[in-house]
Amino acid sequence: MKRARTLKNYLQRHGLTLRPCAYDALSAILIERAGFEVVGTSGYGISASIIGQPDIGLVGYGEMVERVRTMINAVSLPVEVDADTGYGNALNVYWTVKNFAGIGAAGVRIEDQVWPKKCGHMAGKQLISTGEMVRKIRAAVKAREETNPFLVIGARTDARSVYGFKEVLERGKAYADAGADYIYVEAPQSMEEVETLVKEIPVPISFNIILGGKTPPFTLKQLEEVGVKYLSVPMVCLYPAVKAIINALQELKRRNILDISSLGVSWAEFNEIVGISRWRKLEAELLSKRELQEKYGRQDIDKITEEERRASQNWRKRN
C-alpha cells in the first residue's frame, strides 16, 4: 500500500510528475537508477518486446500481468500500469484491477477504446460509449475497495481524434465523477485545449508525449505552468535502446567487434546494474562455508567483485 499512497500523493502536490515508461524489469531498474519517482509501463513497449508486434491488442491480460509482476519486483518505486481497456467488460476490469493491485501495482489506468485496441497515436480507433466506460471505472473502484484503498485509478479517453474536443470534456467529467483519480487525454492538440482541460475537469490531467506522435511538442515548462500534473513518456527507454542495438549490430556486421565496447556499458557496469554485489552478499550470508568454498575457494567474495570490476575497466581502457 505504501507505493500506491506515494503515487497518490504525487498527484496531489504542486508541480508536474514525470512518468517514464519501462517495457521490462531491466528498463524499470534503469528508470529508478536515473532518479525518477515513478515507473510507468508501456503497453506498446511490452507488445514490441514480448512478441515483436505493434500495439493493436495482441498481448492479453495474462501476459501483461506476468510482465508487470517482474517489473514491480525489480524496483522500489511506485509502478503504474497501462492496463489497456481492462481486457473486456466491467467484470473483466474488476478482475484486472484486483489482480494488478494484488501484485503490488501503485496505479492502474484503463481506456475507452473498443477491444482489441490500438496505440493512441494510430489511426482507426473505435470507442465504447461513455456509459460503458463509466461502468468500467466503477468496477475498478470496487476492486480498489477490496484490495488497496490508495490504488490510483486513471481513466484515459481517446475521444479527441475520434469525436473531437467537446467529447473529451464531456467524457473526462463523467469519468472523474465515476471515481477516476486522474484523466488521461490522448493527444490534445493545442495549449489552449490543455488549459481548458485543467480548468474544467475536477481531477488531475495527464497525457503522453511520443516524439513523432500526435501530441504537439509541448515543453515541460509549458505543461507545468498551466497545471498538468502527470506526464507519461512511453518510449523514452525503448526507442534509444533499439537505436543502440542497431548501431552495435552494424559494427559487428562490419567485423568491428572491439568498437562495440564504446557503444554500451561494460561487463562490470552491467553486473552492478542487475545487482551482482547484492547477490554475492546474500551468498555470503545465507550459504554455508562449505558451499562458499566449493564455489569460490578461499577467496573473499567482495574482493572477487572488485577484481572483476577493475578487469572490466582495464579492458575498456585497452580497447
DSSP state of 77: S
Q: How many separate domains does the chain show?
A: 2
> Does the predicted model carry a pTM greater than 0.85?
yes
Average pLDDT of each block of 10 consecutive residues along the chain (319 residues)?
96 96 98 98 96 96 97 98 97 98 98 95 95 98 98 97 96 98 96 97 96 90 96 96 95 87 86 91 91 84 73 62
Q: Do 127 and 271 have their domain in common? A: no
186-to-34, 121, 213 alpha-carbon distances in Å: 26, 8, 11
Burial bucket for residue 260 (CB in 10 Å: 0-12, 13-18, 19+): middle
pLDDT the model gives residue 125: 94
Q: How far apart are CA 107 and CA 79, in angstroms?
A: 7
Picking from 107, 61, 111, the residue whose alpha carbon sits closest to that of residue 87 is 61
pLDDT the model gives residue 95: 98
Q: How far apart are CA 127 and CA 114, in angstroms?
A: 5
DSSP state of 16: P
Q: How far apart are CA 40 and CA 209, in angstroms?
A: 13
pLDDT the model gives residue 173: 98
Q: How far apart are CA 307 and CA 313, in angstroms?
A: 10
pLDDT the model gives residue 260: 84
pLDDT the model gives residue 313: 67
pLDDT the model gives residue 298: 78
Q: Do 285 and 196 have their domain in common? A: no
Return the CATH number at 217: 3.20.20.60
Q: How far apart are CA 132 and CA 88, in angstroms?
A: 11
CB-CB neighbours of 39 under 10 Å:
28
Q: Do 175 and 275 have their domain in common? A: no
Q: Do 66 and 214 have their domain in common? A: yes
Q: Do 148 and 277 have their domain in common? A: no
Q: Do 122 and 23 have their domain in common? A: yes
Among candidate residues 184, 204, 239, the one where a domain is terminated = 239
- Dihedral (CA of 283, 286, 289, 295) sign: negative
In the numeric block, the cell 471515481 is attached to 179
Residue 246 lies in a domain: no
Q: Domain range spanning residue 105? A: 2-239
| DSSP states of 216-278 | ----HHHHHHHT--EEEETTTTHHHHHHHHHHHHHHHHTT-GGGGGGGS--HHHHHHHTTHHH
pLDDT the model gives residue 159: 96
156-to-144, 166, 180, 253, 286 alpha-carbon distances in Å: 18, 15, 10, 43, 46
Residue 221 lies in a domain: yes
